[in-house]
């Protein structure tokens, strides 16, 4: 999947069934978060920046690699 140099939006990822599945499998509670609708316009780069400190660098890197392979 073209992540557009990590500038793809969370909304685009969530609207694409394959990437939605990756996010659902890796972060099931995230997709139930009440603020998710407001975050749909955020870029993947912004989401990764927010996730640092909350997720391990390996979790982040593995997720990005999996999304790129789609």
pLDDT in tens, 5-21: 999 999 999 999 999 99
* Count of beta carbons in the 10 Å neighbourhood of residue 22: 17
With 90 as the cut, is the pLDDT of residue 64 above it?
Answer: yes
CA 1 – CA 7 distance, rounded (Å): 12
Q: What are phi and psi of 43, to 5 degrees?
A: -85, 160
Count of structural domains within the chain: 1
| 70, 18 contact by CB (below 8 A) | yes
Three-class secondary structure of residue 55 per DSSP: strand
Confidence grade of residue 43 (pLDDT, cut at 50, 70, 90): very high
Q: Average pLDDT, whole number, for the chain?
A: 96
- Residue 44 belongs to domain spanning: 4-69
With 90 as the cut, is the pLDDT of residue 1 above it?
Answer: yes
| 1, 65 contact by CB (below 8 A) | no
């Amino acid at each position: 999947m073209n992540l557009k140099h990590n500038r793809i939006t969370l909304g685009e990822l969530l609207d694409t069934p394959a990437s939605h599945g990756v996010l659902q499998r890796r972060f099931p509670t995230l997709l139930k978060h009440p603020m998710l609708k407001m975050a749909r316009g955020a870029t993947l780069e912004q989401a990764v920046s927010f996730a640092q400190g909350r997720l391990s660098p390996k979790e982040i890197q593995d997720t990005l690699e999996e999304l790129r392979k789609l």
